[in-house]
């Protein structure tokens, strides 16, 4: 016989799993996770302003890895060498 957990038991289990994964992340990745959670929350609540939840510093941290891939290259170094 299979016994199904209640929704609250499943939710608690998921929270525990997510918490364990979060503990292994760097602070930069945690900031990205926080931004994503804010985004998910805003999808369910039209009154939440995503731009209001993100500080300029948060946006800088969230975009840092993506921009590094574009800007950290020999071609970019050459383009800016004269400055």
Give residue-wise pLDDT tens across range 25-64.
998 899 999 988 888 887 765 555 655 667 788 888 888 8
**The pLDDT of residue 26:** 92
| Alpha carbon distance 83, 69 (integer Å) | 21
């Amino acid at each position: 016989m299979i016994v199904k957990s209640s929704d609250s038991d499943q939710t608690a289990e998921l929270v525990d799993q997510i918490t364990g994964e979060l503990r292994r992340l760097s602070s930069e990745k945690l900031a990205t996770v926080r931004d994503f959670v804010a985004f998910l929350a805003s999808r369910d609540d039209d009154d939440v302003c995503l731009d209001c939840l993100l500080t300029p510093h948060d946006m800088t941290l969230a975009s840092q890895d993506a921009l590094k891939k574009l800007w950290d290259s020999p071609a970019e170094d050459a383009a800016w060498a004269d400055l």
